[in-house]
Structure formats: structure tokens, C-alpha cells
A and B are shown apart, each in its own frame.
Chain A
């Protein structure tokens, strides 16, 4: 792609700068990192969900040839500054922080909890040794259900906590009692919503090397948040930030779990320091089911109050969340779920109490969507129930409740994490729904449905409106430097797991500097090149890093012009930056390339810099957010349901989407399509099951089903662009939006298809067996 006049690349379907390498097998993922002399590690993990370690015998494992060490908690504790890994994110409402141990000390609280670390010359030998460890665990009663776990008589999920009620929070605004007293109608529904793991196709992994000569620790970590990992490592190991470098190499998908600091990320560096040799650990898929954080069940018991026309007056209820065995990432997820429940609708009063229960399952943390799909699902199910009760069409009940465009910006009396009020900044929600209905043929559908029914086919159409708060702060960093060689380097604290972060930044910077994006080198995920950063979560990087890179590039362009004004003896006002060179307007030959300018700003011994300017053609910028910016969308799905087998086929899927100004529509569409299919998985396929002892029953991709290409539909995507006033680019995030709308849309469509059987769907996931049971329970009209 050619360069061009500055600022022209926003909105271009620029080919990705990442692809050439990745398409030829040239990616460098965690397991591709070869550190000379590295040992390989395997974890020995708890086989039970809850118990006390009576005795562990590692002698036979240690004696195996080529085994270098078998380490338990007591071996690693001397290297650590505290008993537990201090991870607590600040949170109001948390009753006690439950930070994990690097390896289990005495009590094991979930099947898969790491107990010992075997380090050997190869992974195969380490696995052989793991099989020789003998352990005696006294079983303790396990807590598997979050609702039952809050009963006063419940067993304790952890003996080191007073009870299982780990946190209480909630949302409360408006006069909820009045809303219910004045309502023409009230309805109550209960939902049990599962959501599985992130399941990036690349599992997690860590390589650590301690260099005694420089007293420095380098950790390669398949993380979304290397800066947080560095902070935790430095604190736990008693190192300074300067001694601790964390590098996220190519990361094969994140989706949330890789944002969480797991015990292995400390155990491996500690082992490398103890053994004075590099150590590598790569998770296997069984571990990604049992040891990697995932989302867990939400139990919603909700009541809606509405007037005779179907306008919402208030919603109240309780949300109980299964938090697993510890709190590695705060308690924001159910809060997100409840605030996102409000969605694009006018909700005058809202009270939800949120109760988080510890259970004996792998700790819970957000996966793509982070509670929002469940919140949107509950609201949309309530709206469909209201529509049924009043005999109002589903699109009409929504129309009566949608926030009109002329009320933007629209504040909601809910305080965010940063203390600000939740405020929708821009968008036209009714128009979004209108376009989606038109695109999917909503009006003609009843005729098509009736025709299909005459052939014995049950088809249905469903819809969902939703918003997503994106671009969470407080900041992200970026710098732009033109080296004297002419190479343009962008560094950022943002991190890449496939979103196209490098393309996005190269496109913004290339646009400002008039150079082709593929010539720009973007460095991300390295705490050494970017001392400050937050990383990938909450659909934030286009908003935060994108605007930081834009600001830095604008400063570089300005400095290039100022320097060129001296070199060309021209007024800065007469200069323009085109094709990577500053030239005098109307005199294209009279120019200085960015390379030439960078060279003169690099300085030469004893000579003065042009115009006495500061050296270097570079600038850095941190973008500070001014609150979340809200993406919105409407999804429609047409499905065909086989009422005898419970099979669901998605015939059509339409998305109308508004994430403000799009930097690269091709990549936005990629995010939406990937998110929708993730949401389809959550709705119909992905189900992490446990037995009553909290023992995982689904620990392979044979038992836990990810959506495949033959069940994923084609996703038709239409864009609206309502630029946000909250940042100079006008952009909003797009990475999680797809998953939010899918469950509610598909379930609404299935209910529509099965209307002759009076099927009402509440719980997720909806497997064929569960759907068959609902058909049997319904009565054929």
C-alpha cells in the first residue's frame, strides 16, 4: 500500500502487517522460544476438588535420571516475599481477598490446583516423574453449587475463609419500591447461565531465565498484561522493576484468561532462580480445562415491573455468581453483567444485589464479553416475556423502551469503577434496530414461517439490542520514533493476541506521517520497550493505544515540519507532509524526507541541532480516558429447529453494529464475526460440566465443544458510525461486542420457532437434550 497525504488511512481496509509472517509459519509463539540450556517443567496437580494434603512423597520422582528438581511450596517459599501471590484488585464489597498460593500449601481447593513442579531435561521425562509422585489427600466436602454454597449449612470451600460468601455488591438506583407498587404488570423469571472458558487455540506458557551476571530476570509469558505480570513478579520475588522484564511474544489468542496472573507464572521464574537455569513450561489442553481461569455459572432471579403499554418501570432481583476457589482478578464480572443488563433501554429504577460464592472449582475470571452477554440475555428474555404477556410484537416492545437518539449523551445513575457516572456517549439505538429488522426481512417473516410450518419445518427469527462499554482506562501508552536509518518504530503498552493491534497502530501512524503501514515496526508486549502500559482487556486498545499513537504521531509530524522549516529555510505554514517527506507546498522537489530530518535531529558531535531543537525525531504520549465509550448493536438470527432431535441450525445471522469511527473495517468485521461465533458456542455447545464432588467432567475438546466451521453461519455485518466525542479518533471498541448479542438473539429465535410447543427458554447453554426436554414439557397448541 502506498503512503499518501497525512491522515488519510483511517477507515481503510488496510491489509494486516502481521499476516505475511504468520502465514508462512514465521510466528514466534511461546513454545517456539528456544533458550539455550533450558529445562522443561510439568506441574503435578490436585486430583480432587477439595482436600488436605496429608503426605506427599517425591523421592521416586526425584530419583529418576534427568530430573533436576521436584519442588513443592516449602522449596519455593524462601524465594518469595509473602505466603500468597498478592493479586487483589481493589474492589468495594469484597469481604475477603483470596489470593492463591504459588503451589498448594496444605489444602487443595480445586481439581487441577498445582501442588508440585517437576523440572527435567525434557518434558517427557518430567511427565514420567510426575507419575511417580505419591500423594495422600484427606478428602473434604466440596462446594459445587454457588446458590447452595451460600446456605448457612453449606460446607466451606476453603478452610482459610470464614464462609463462602466472598463478596457482596450491587446496583441500586431510582425508586424501585414505587416502580413495583405502580406497575400494571410484574413478572418474575429465573435464569441459570453457564459460560465456558476462553480456550484460545494456543494454550498458556512461560519461559524464565535468570541471569546472575546482571542480576536480571527475563520472563516470556503468553500474557495479555505483561506490565501487571512484571509488577506481581517484582513484588513476589523482591526484585525491582528494572531487574524484571516480561515479554509477551506472539500470543495465539487471549479472550480474557491470559489477562489473569496464574500461579505458574510465578512458579516457573522462581524455579529458574532457584535452579540457576532457564525453565520452560507449556500448558497442555487438560490443564487449560482444569487450571486456567474460566467463567462460571450465574444464577439470576429477576422481576420486571412495567406499565400497561409495556414500558419498563423497574427491575429488581438477585444475581449469584460462582467465583471458583479464589479471587485472582477482582469481582468486576457480575457487576459488569448487571450494569450491562440495562442495555440500550430506559430503565427508571434498578436494584440488583450481587452475591459471589466461593466454590471448589478453578477460579473464575472474565472471558470475552466479561458478563455482558449474560446481562444482555437476561434483559432480552424479560422483554420477550413482557411481549408475550401483553401480546405485543417483540420488536415493538423494544421500540417502546429504547433510548431515543436525541437523549444522547444519556447518563445512568450507576457509579463506575473509576467513580464516574455510567453515560452512553453517542449512538442511535432505534435506528440500529430499524436497519437490522429491515436487513433480516422481519416484516415478511411471519409469512415465510407459516409456509415453512406447512412443510413441517419450524423456523424462527430472534433479535437482541445491546451496548458495550469499551475503552476502559485509565490510560495506555505509545511512542513513535523515526530512527536515523529511516525506520519508524512504534512502541506501546498495548498487547496483541490476534486483534491486529500492530496494523491498527501502523495505520494510524502511517496516516499521520504519510508512509505505508507495512514499513512501520510496531513493538508491543515488552516491558523493556514500554515501561508503562496496561494491555489487553475490555475492548480498549483501539481507543486507548490508538489515540495515544495518534497523538505521538501528530507531535512527530509537527517536529518534522519545524525541523524541515530550518533545513529548507521555509515557513512551517508553507510545508506539508506527503509520502514520508516534508515539502514546500507547490514545490514538490523542495523537500526533506523523514529519514533526512531524523538524521539531522540525531545530531553530530560538536554541531548544533537544527533550530536548537531537542534531539531525536520522536514523541511519546499517554492517552487518558474520559470515561467508557459505548458501542452498540442489534443482532438478528433466523434458525431452524428440529423439535424431535433438538438440533438447531442457524440459517441467517445479521448484525448492525456501531463502534464509532472505524480505523479498519475489515478488522472490525473480523472481531464481530469471531465474537458472534464465540457467542454461538456459549449458547449451544460450550458446557463445562462437574459432578457433585466438583470434579470436572469435560476436559478435552471431545467433551467440551467449540463451534466449528460447519455449524457457524455466515455473519452479515452492516455498519453505522456514530463517532464518540470522548476521543480524537472518535473510535469505540469492537472486540467483545459480537459475543454479547448472540445468546439472546439465538434463544429468542428458537423460542419463536418452537412457539407451537409453548417453549420458554431460560438456562444456558441450550444443548439438544435440554431443548428436547423443553419441547416435551411444553404443550402443543
Chain B
């Protein structure tokens, strides 16, 4: 059951080599092995999206991926999102501006989902429906999604939509 394996991976531009039990999932590995507690666990069955991280640029539910599967890969988590000089990422700034978080438990997953959405649509303004669709795998019990969607529109929407009530 323990079956330990050696893995090496890059997390937020830092290389880590560790020995892990093969059954440990990536979320637990990030949190309890690397101390990156920003990735949250809300269901452990792939629905809530709180554990969303980017692996080689693609969003992944880290509760559904084993740590060993992330071996050799490049992982991005909420802790690596702000700029090196400490400046917030535009998505982070917009979530604060539009009250897109309350308890903050779903927030790291929301940020990672929105960052992926932005990278996939560089130069292409997004509408409210597209943003709502992209976020539909991130459960939030606090906000009713309104502030999150408004933050997404502010960063990725057409100029007319930015910060407005469509």
C-alpha cells in the first residue's frame, strides 16, 4: 500500500524532489509535503474545483491526480500567481474589486480557472455566458458567482463590458 516512489517536479518555478506514497494525490502532496496550503480541498471527488491547479498549463483537479502523475511536470498554484515583485495578478485584483470572494475557500481554484481561461483566449474578448460556462466547474457557496463573473468580465470582457452591469 505504501509503495513509495521518487518524483521530481517544478512547482511555481521551484524544482522539488520527494519520495511519496503512490496513492497520495497531488492536492495532498502540495499541501502537506510542500506546505502550499493555498490549494484547497472541498470534495475529493472532482466536483467542487477548489483544488484546481495548472499542470503544464492545463487546469487539473489536484484531488483527482496522483502526485506521481505530476512527476516531471510543471505545476502552477495560487502561491505563484502574483508577480515576483508582489503585485497582484489582474485576476486577483479584479476579484477584490468586484467582491468576488467572501470566505475565500473556493478562491484559489477560481483564480486558476480564470487564468487558464485568459491564456486560452488572448486577444479575444469574452462575454458573460462564456465566463459563466468556464467557471461552472468551480462551486462557490458564498458569492452567488456574481462578483466572480464581474471580475472575469473586467479582465477578459469586451471594453464595453468591463466593470459594467450587463
Contacts and interface: CB of A to CB of B under 8 A. Distances in A.
B37 A498 contact: no
B48 interface: yes
Given A16-B99, A19-B101, A498-B103, A24 B132 contact: no
Contact of B144 (A16, A677, A716): A677
A165 interface: no
Given A25-B78, A673-B143, A201 B42 contact: yes
B96 A16 contact: yes
A32 B50 CA distance: 14
A666 B99 contact: yes
A179 interface: no
Contacts of B41: 31
A29 interface: yes
Given A203-B42, A709-B132, A670 B99 contact: yes
A678 B105 CA distance: 17
A708 B146 contact: no
Given A23-B96, A25-B37, A25-B77, A252 B105 contact: yes
A680 B1 CA distance: 44
Nearest to B107: A22
A231 to B, nearest CB: 25
Categorize the interface residue count of chain A. Answer: 35 or more
Nearest to B145: A709
Given A23-B101, A29-B105, A714-B166, A677 B145 contact: yes
A666 B137 CA distance: 25
Nearest to A672: B144
B58 interface: no
B124 interface: no
Given A25-B37, A706-B139, A200 B103 contact: yes
A97 B128 CA distance: 51
Categorize the interface residue count of chain B. Answer: 35 or more
A701 B141 contact: no
A498 B36 contact: no
Given A15-B96, A285-B44, A714-B166, A202 B103 contact: yes
A29 B39 CA distance: 11
Contacts of B96: 15-16, 19-20, 23
B136 A710 contact: yes
B4 to A, nearest CB: 12
Interface in B102-151: 102-108, 111, 128-129, 131-133, 135-149
A65 to B, nearest CB: 10
B103 A252 contact: yes
B155 to A, nearest CB: 13
Contacts of A702: 45, 47
Interface string A224-254: 0000000000000000000000000011110
A199 interface: yes
The CB with the most chain B CB atoms within 10 A, among A23, A27, A285, is that of A23
Interface string A244-272: 00000011110100000000000000000
Nearest to A19: B96
Given A25-B79, A674-B143, A709-B148, A252 B133 contact: no
Contacts of A670: 99, 102, 142-144, 146-147
B38 interface: yes
Interface string A664-682: 0011011001111110000
Contacts of A714: 128, 146, 149, 165-166
A284 interface: yes
Contacts, number: 180
A24 B45 contact: no
Contacts of A431: none
A651 interface: no
Given A670-B147, A678-B141, A201 B133 contact: no
A590 interface: no
B2 to A, nearest CB: 9
Nearest to B106: A201
Given A202-B42, A670-B99, A710-B132, A701 B142 contact: no
Contacts of A701: 43, 45, 47-48, 139
B97 interface: yes
B61 interface: no
Contacts of B138: 709
Given A201-B139, A709-B149, A714-B165, A22 B132 contact: no
A200 B105 CA distance: 9
Given A23-B104, A252-B40, A709-B149, A700 B142 contact: no
B105 A27 contact: yes
B136 A708 contact: yes
B23 to A, nearest CB: 7
Contacts of A709: 131-133, 135-136, 138, 140, 145, 148-149
B144 A253 contact: no
A352 to B, nearest CB: 31
Nearest to A670: B99
Contacts of B107: 22-23
B25 to A, nearest CB: 10
A138 to B, nearest CB: 32
B143 A667 contact: no
Interface in A701-756: 701-702, 706, 708-710, 712, 714-716, 738
Contacts of A34: 35
A-B interface, 9 closest residue pairs, ranked by CB to CB distance from nearest: A25-B38, A498-B103, A252-B105, A22-B104, A498-B102, A677-B144, A673-B144, A25-B78, A701-B47
Interface of B: 1, 21, 23-24, 31, 35-45, 47-48, 50, 77-79, 81-82, 88, 92, 95-97, 99, 101-108, 111, 128-129, 131-133, 135-149, 165-166
27 contacts: A15-B97, A19-B104, A22-B101, A23-B104, A25-B36, A25-B38, A32-B37, A200-B141, A202-B103, A202-B105, A250-B103, A284-B44, A285-B43, A500-B102, A670-B144, A674-B142, A674-B143, A677-B144, A700-B45, A701-B43, A702-B47, A709-B133, A710-B132, A710-B133, A710-B135, A712-B144, A716-B165
Given A23-B88, A673-B143, 5 more contacts: A23-B111, A202-B105, A250-B104, A673-B144, A710-B133
Interface of A: 15-16, 18-29, 31-32, 34, 124, 128, 198-203, 250-253, 255, 284-285, 497-500, 666-667, 669-670, 673-678, 700-702, 706, 708-710, 712, 714-716, 738
